[in-house]
Amino acid sequence: MSAGQQEKSPEDLNIFEAEETLRALAAEIARHDELYHGKDDPEISDADYDALRRRFDAIADRFPSIARTLAPSASVGAAPSAGFAKVTHSRPMLSLSNAFDGEEVTEFVNRIRRFLSLAADEPVGLVAEPKIDGLSAALRYENGRFIQGATRGDGTVGEDITRNLRTIDDIPTRLENAPAVLEIRGEVYMRKDDFRALNQAQEASGAKVFANPRNAAAGSLRQLDSSITTRRKLRFFAYSWGEVSERPSDTQAGFLELLRDWGFQTNPLTRLCGTVDELLARYASIAEQRATLPYDIDGVVYKVNRLDWQDRLGMVSRAPRWAIAHKFPAEQAETILKAIDIQVGRTGALTPVARLEPVTVGGVVVSNATLHNEDEVRRKGVRVGDTVVIQRAGDVIPQVVRVIEDKRPAGSVPYEFPAVCPCALKTPVIRIEGEAVRRCGGGLACPFQAVERLKHFVSRDAFDIEGLGEKQIQAFWEDKLITQPGDIFRLKEHEAALKKREGWGEKSVDNLLAAIEGRRSIGLDKMIYALGIRQVGQATARLLASNYGTLGAWRTAMLEAGKTAPDGDESTDMPNDALSDLLNIDQIGMSVANDLIAFFAEEQSLRIVSDLENELDIQPFAVPVAGDSPVAGKTVVFTGTLATMGRSEAKARAESLGAKVAGSVSKKTDYVIVGARPSSTRFCNP
């Protein structure tokens, strides 16, 4: 694709020319990827590279069927992360749960009161801070010197971006009177005016234009070359901390003051509030100023001011109980629905997807939106050709909200939900009573489900293999190099062939194989999550891993739980011991149990699991706290009203000391903590 060569616009290409051009572009892009990432010796400027990418994408948009098989395999567009070292956060970087209205905020504060068993007249001070729409970063200071900065990553492991963070003026390199170890957390963002200027410059040089300030900040922060980051004007608001050798304050408000003394920027709209009404008034005021603020925000975060209360409140899953994000309502826009396609998810759920005339919503171009399921399509009465209102909130997939019936074209027809899976097998779709979704009954035989399961397997919170993303999985799957998870760990048998593959070179294949080897040792919780069992998310996977300890014990128990009592047994309807144990895990109910049993009832699942068992070194789940706590590893049941703290707090405290909390007494119970007026049912189980 040398400069000056006559280039036809995508519209003028016929399908044969398109294929030839896409093939050439993919090879060219791959060669430059290899030069840039593999050899650190680029031949062309970033702008020229982006122009190649844009031409590929423009043709690919017109000829998606050819493009699918030809897409360049290396990570698209954004700087790859291969060059950044990993950093394990000494304290996990949490996310926030959301509230969307005043009622949910009231419920949040009531929950806190209940958890802490506060008297009705005890005030709860909360700090309200704007929620900055940027990227969180952790800055580690030792003896007052900035020594390391990292991205959030998956919350446990991030990437070392120290060099890039050093280019940000808002980040002091030295702190006076700071604790010996001090990790400051906050948000890296780009101002709206800097974003506009950057995009103008990008456009003028033919380089990639960013969709919004957040993407621009992300792209700038993850540059391997920090001289590029220097030229992008990034800023930083500090709002939180990670590891500290001594706690510098007793309150969030006091901590923010210290941050300012150390030279950090804190957000000027932050206020300490004493009641829900004050929080909501602050929210309204910030919402009113939103459009005129120089940076993007997407809500207001409320945080319990007293840090001793924050400690007691602790966290659930990956979010603190002491904070919540009150989000701004989603932004809406009108556009035309061009088609309804069906996507098949990893559990076989058929999701109707609206293909839209591209439209900008809150600064982002949207061309697809979800229609959720059959009932939603019917309830909203959407038809192809309709003008629809769509909305987009934060990172959530855009949704179709409603149809503007006055604008319906003549002759449109109601949408018929397909009765068979769109895959080649055309398996009939089933709708289980009480469920909103239709599912393809083909299980892992359905190619869509099989490939979606593989994508989930390598996703960020599961195996997270560098260089093996959705695109690569799709391509390897089509070429039958990876048809089940275990194949990933045998990919090295194809090393020579891979190195000859289009878009791959010596170095990128070596990197990929090394990344795969690096994941051969994996925690049981991640392994369980990676299997993609229905309703088994990260939290449930952790519960299962901590309760069963090893893969073998878990599998045996699940298979056992699936066995019905032998014929003639009086107790046919009674759960067997394995099923009782499973149901006795706090937070696991019959519905999840059924999905677990169904998974292990499939022969293919068993084959996949034992194949992985041979390939991997699966680490037993580590109890979070040192084993010297007397309740570590013990099963505890709470019943009745406890005198000194609420039951939720007691449960959370026991869990943080490594105990497993069960709902009722069984053979496995080690301790029963009986408060006043215990419930007799908790003693009933076998």
Which positions lie near ligand IVH, rule CB under 6 A? Answer: 94-96, 129, 131-132, 136, 152, 187, 239-240, 301, 320, 323, 325
Q: What angle (nearest 5°) sits at the alpha carbon of residue 101, between those of residues 96 and 102?
A: 105
Strands 521-523 and 617-619: parallel
Bridge partner residues of 660 (DSSP): 635
Are the beta carbons of 183 and 108 closer than 8 angstroms? no
Active site residue 131: yes
Q: How far is the CB of 94 from ligand IVH (least distance, A)?
A: 4
Question: Residue 313 in 3-state DSSP?
Answer: helix
Nearest residue to 654 (alpha-carbon basis) of 646, 392, 180, 554: 646
Residues 334, 336, 342, 345: is their CA dihedral positive or negative? negative
Q: How far is the CB of 255 from ligand IVH (least distance, A)?
A: 12
Query: Which of residues 186 and 348 has its CB atom nearest to ligand IVH in the complex?
Result: 186
How far from 512 is each of 87, 338, 492, 516, 567, CA to CA, in Å? Answer: 19, 39, 9, 6, 52
Q: How far is the CB of 556 from ligand IVH (least distance, A)?
A: 38
Query: Which of residues 295 and 457 has its CB atom nearest to ligand IVH in the complex?
Result: 295
On the 0-12 / 13-18 / 19+ scale of CB atoms within 10 A, 421 is buried
Q: How far is the CB of 272 from ligand IVH (least distance, A)?
A: 14
| Two tokens, residue 455 | 């994508």
Q: How far is the CB of 196 from ligand IVH (least distance, A)?
A: 22
Task: Supply the DSSP symbol for 569.
Answer: -
Query: Which of residues 323 and 561 has its CB atom nearest to ligand IVH in the complex?
Result: 323
Question: Residue 503 in 3-state DSSP?
Answer: coil
- DSSP-derived secondary structure for 183-195: EEEEEEE--HHHH
How far from 184 is each of 239, 320, 521, CA to CA, in Å? Answer: 8, 17, 31
Q: How far is the CB of 189 from ligand IVH (least distance, A)?
A: 9
Are the beta carbons of 60 and 67 closer than 8 angstroms? yes
Q: How far is the CB of 283 from ligand IVH (least distance, A)?
A: 13
> What residue ranges in 362-422 does DSSP mark as E strands?
364-370, 387-392, 399-403
| Two tokens, residue 364 | 């982002």
| Two tokens, residue 671 | 């301790």
HSE-CB at 295 with a 13 A cutoff on CA atoms is 24
Q: How far is the CB of 252 from ligand IVH (least distance, A)?
A: 10
Q: How far is the CB of 325 from ligand IVH (least distance, A)?
A: 5
Query: Which of residues 92 and 144 has its CB atom nearest to ligand IVH in the complex?
Result: 92
Query: Which of residues 323 and 637 has its CB atom nearest to ligand IVH in the complex?
Result: 323
| Two tokens, residue 150 | 């990292």
Q: What is the CA radius of gyration of the chain?
A: 27
Are the beta carbons of 659 and 684 closer than 8 angstroms? no
SS (H, E, C) 10-28: HHHCCHHHHHHHHHHHHHH
- Axis crossing angle, helix 46-62 with helix 15-33, rounded to the nearest 10: 150
Nearby residues of 490 by Cβ (< 8 Å), 6 or more positions away: 615
Q: How far is the CB of 261 from ligand IVH (least distance, A)?
A: 19
Which of 86, 131, 303, 660 is catalytic? The answer is 131
Q: How far is the CB of 334 from ligand IVH (least distance, A)?
A: 29
The residue type of 681 is T
How far apart CA 390 and CA 368 sit, in angstroms, is: 10
How far apart CA 452 and CA 100 sit, in angstroms, is: 31
Are the beta carbons of 97 and 104 closer than 8 angstroms? no
Q: Per 3-state DSSP, what percentage of the chain is helix, strand, and coil (rounded to 5)?
A: 40, 20, 40
How far apart CA 377 and CA 387 sit, in angstroms, is: 14
Query: Which of residues 127 and 530 has its CB atom nearest to ligand IVH in the complex?
Result: 127
Other C-beta atoms within 10 Å of 379: how many?
11
The residue with its CB nearest to ligand IVH is 136
Catalytic residues: 131
